[in-house]
Amino acid sequence: MSNAVKVQPRKKPLLPRIKNYAGFYIMALAVLAFLVIFHYLPMFGIAYSFTKYTIIKPPVWVGLKNFERLFGMPNFWSAFSNTIQLSVIKLLLTTGFSVILSLLLNEMNNIWGKKLSQTIIYLPHFMSWVVTASVFQLILSPTGQGLVNSILMNLGIIDKGIYFLGSSATWQGAYYVINIWHDTGWGTIIFMATLTGIDPGIYEAASIDGAGRWKKMWYITLPSLANTIITVLILNLAKIMNLFESVFVLQNDAVMDVSQVLQTYVYYQTFNSGGIPDYGYTTAIGLFRSMVGLFLMLVCNYASKKVRGRGIV
């Protein structure tokens, strides 16, 4: 322990520093073991991106052909931009609403009201997308059976039912609303947990200084959530191109121009090809999605470093 006498521990030579952290390396090793077995061992599969592989015969090297095919798809760019648009707006809306709900829940003093509200707002997360879609198709139906339209018609706001999920003009809006319904409540879990970590002493001090409810919310609560909000947003950016199920169950023939995302596009392409899926092509698309996710994450991480002085991990 001769190093202990050194004045500036940060400039210790590497080896003793490693020794200092020995316990942590053991912990890291446990995590890495799982990572290697379940994530890195299967990574050899990424190589299939450059092959034609129908599973039955050994993969045949085709170079960048799968990517050429992907980028050559007639409506590739429209599907690409729909994916980005739908998932970014969805992400911002659901996260934004989650934050607002968390702030309001946090202000609720009635403990039973709070518990009950929390339990209820989590429920939609447990409904599968197939069930969600079928229920909302009914609620948003243009006929008298549709709850929303019959309310609007009874109020005299409209005189003919709007086919929310059946027309390109309204589909995206309906899609966002359904996603807010489905995901917002569940999203509050992480924010609520963060809020419990705020030292009540800070609120007391602020009250003493005469800060009102809104001031405290704005200057204490929200900033303590900032870190979590940014982390959640950036983590979700990595998965942005994976958008599939929620769109797939809600789209229909008349709204393809606004609802076709990359994953549904590829699904229909394979489904209508009359052949069996080419696993190489599917993998190539996965790799492309990963690259987009990586790019978005790096950009945001960079921005985060610039603004806050450090990245997300």
Partner 1 sequence: MEATNTNIKPRKKPFKISVFPIVNGILFVIICLVILIPIWKVLVDSFDLTTGYGMKLWPDNFGLEGYQTVLTNPSLVTPLKNSVITTVCGTLLGLTLSTLGAYVLIQWDMPGRGLFAGLLMFTMIFSGGMIPSYIVMRNLGLTNTLLGVILLPAINVYNLVLMRNFFEGIPTSLFESATLDGCTPFKIFYKIVLPLSKAALASIGLMFAVSYWNDYTNYKLYITKANLYNFQMKLRSMMMGSNLPTAIGSATENTVQNAAVIVAILPFMILYPFLQKYFVKGINIGAVKE
Partner 2 sequence: MKKLLTLVLALVLCMSMFTASADVEKPEKITIFIDGTVVTEPNGQAQFEAKWEELTGIDLEIIQPDHDAYYDVLQQQIASGDWPDVLILSSTYYAAYANEGVLWDMTEAWENSATKNSGRMKNESVIDGLKINGRLYGFADGIGGGCVTYVKKAWLDAVNMEAPTNWEEYAAMCDAFVNNDPDGDGVKDTYALTAAGFIGTEAPYINYLPEFYQDAYPSFYMNAEGKWVDGFSEPAMKAALERLAEGYAKGWIDPTTLTNGTKDCRNKFYDDTTGVFTYWAGTWATNLKNNLISNNRDPELVPLAPLAGAPGYFDRTPPVWAITSTCENPEGVFTWFIDTILDGGDIQFLWTYGVENVHWSRKAETVLGVEYAEGQFHMAENLETPGTAYTKNHSDPVSTLAYFADGYYTDEFIDPVTVMIQPENVASSNLFAANSRAAWLVPSTDVMSTYNGDLTTLKNELIAKVAMGEMTYDEAMAEYAKQGQAWSDMIVESLNAAK
Q: Which of residues 246-275 bind partner 1 (CB under 8 A)?
A: none
User: x/- contact string, 204-243, with partner 1 (CB under 8 A)?
Assistant: ---xx-x-xx-------------xx--xx--x--x-----
Residue 302 in the binding site for partner 1 (CB under 8 A): no
Determine the 3-state secondary structure of 51 from DSSP.
strand
Cβ closer to partner 1: 173 or 212?
212
CA dihedral 229, 230, 231, 234 (to 10 degrees): 120
CA dihedral 148, 152, 158, 159 (to 10 degrees): 90
**Residue 307 has which token pair?**
């603004």
Residue 238 contacts which entry, partner 1, partner 2, none (Cβ below 5-8 A, type-dependent): partner 1
Closest contact distance (angstroms) between CB of 125 and partner 1 is 8
Residue 311 in the binding site for partner 2 (CB under 8 A): no
Residue 273 contacts which entry, partner 1, partner 2, none (Cβ below 5-8 A, type-dependent): partner 2
Residue 20 in the binding site for partner 2 (CB under 8 A): no
Residue 134 in the binding site for partner 2 (CB under 8 A): yes
**Residue 26 has which token pair?**
């053991």
What are the residue ranges of helices labelled H in the chain?
A: 14-20, 22-35, 65-72, 76-106, 111-122, 129-139, 147-154, 168-196, 200-208, 213-216, 222-237, 245-248, 256-259, 262-271, 279-308
Residue 141 in the binding site for partner 2 (CB under 8 A): yes
Residue 312 in the binding site for partner 1 (CB under 8 A): yes
Q: b/e map of 102-122 (b: 16 or more CB within 10 Å)?
A: bbebbeeeeeeeeeebbeebe
Burial class (CB in 10 A: 0-12, 13-18, 19+), 244: middle
Closest contact distance (angstroms) between CB of 206 and partner 1 is 10
Which residues make Cβ contacts (< 8 Å) with residue 9, sequence separation at least 6?
3
Residue 275 in the binding site for partner 2 (CB under 8 A): yes
Residue 69 in the binding site for partner 2 (CB under 8 A): yes
Binding residues among 29-88 for partner 1 as defined by CB under 8 A: 30-32, 34-35, 37-46, 48, 55
Binding residues among 25-64 for partner 2 as defined by CB under 8 A: 54-57
Closest contact distance (angstroms) between CB of 14 and partner 1 is 6
Residue 272 in the binding site for partner 2 (CB under 8 A): yes
Residue 273 in the binding site for partner 2 (CB under 8 A): yes
Which residues make Cβ contacts (< 8 Å) with residue 59, sequence separation at least 6?
48, 51, 52, 53, 279, 280
Distance CA 219, CA 73 (A): 50
Binding residues among 180-209 for partner 2 as defined by CB under 8 A: none
First to last CA, the chain: 31
User: x/- contact string, 151-170, with partner 2 (CB under 8 A)?
Assistant: ------------x-xx----
Instruction: Look at residues 289, 257, 266, 80 and name the one whose alpha carbon lies nearest to residue 172.
Output: 257
By CB under 8 A, name the binding residues for partner 2. 54-57, 69, 72-75, 133-134, 137-138, 141-144, 163, 165-166, 252-254, 256-257, 260, 265, 268-279
